[in-house]
């Protein structure tokens, strides 16, 4: 489990960095952390480094993960409802039983992503895969 105070400081600094404040902010580098069961609803995690991070049962409802690197992350049973994941790298990620209702996966990298049992609507999946609808 992550130290809540240090995680909060990292997430706040990342939000400032993401909004262009490079003096007081810095990119979140959370590779390999365990953030299972964390409440990350509505967080700005654009372009965050979450490679190989344990995010099982985390609640990301409404969070912004555009461009985030989630390569090899485990998001088993995570709540990703209405999450912005466009351009995110989910290669080798574990999204089993995750809730992806209303998520934006446009342009996301899904190479070898395990989505078994994930809750995902056909329109979200079609946009993620770049399918052309007739």
List, for residues 36-70, the tens digit of each pLDDT value: 999 999 999 999 999 999 999 999 999 999 999 99
CATH class of segment(s) 29-134: mainly beta
Separation of alpha carbons 46 and 1, rounded Å: 22
Count helices and strands in the chain by DSSP H and E runs: 2, 0
Q: Convert the pLDDT of each residue in 27-43 to its tens digit.
A: 999 999 999 999 999 99
pLDDT confidence band for 2 (50 / 70 / 90): low
CA distance 100 to 118: 7
Q: Which of 64, 73, 87 is closest to 14 using CA atoms?
A: 64
Residue 94, SS3?
strand
Q: Where are the domains of the chain?
A: 29-134
């Amino acid at each position: 489990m992550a130290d809540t105070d240090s995680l909060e400081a990292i997430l706040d600094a990342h939000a400032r960095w993401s909004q262009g404040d490079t003096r007081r902010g810095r990119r979140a580098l959370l590779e390999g952390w365990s953030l299972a069961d964390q409440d990350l609803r509505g967080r700005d995690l654009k372009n965050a480094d979450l490679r190989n991070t344990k995010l099982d049962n985390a609640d990301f409802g409404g969070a912004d993960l555009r461009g985030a690197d989630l390569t090899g992350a485990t998001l088993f049973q995570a709540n990703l409802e209405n999450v912005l994941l466009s351009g995110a790298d989910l290669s080798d990620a574990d999204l089993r039983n995750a809730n992806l209702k209303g998520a934006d996966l446009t342009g996301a990298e899904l190479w070898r992503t395990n989505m078994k049992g994930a809750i995902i609507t056909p329109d979200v999946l079609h946009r993620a895969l770049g399918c052309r609808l007739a």
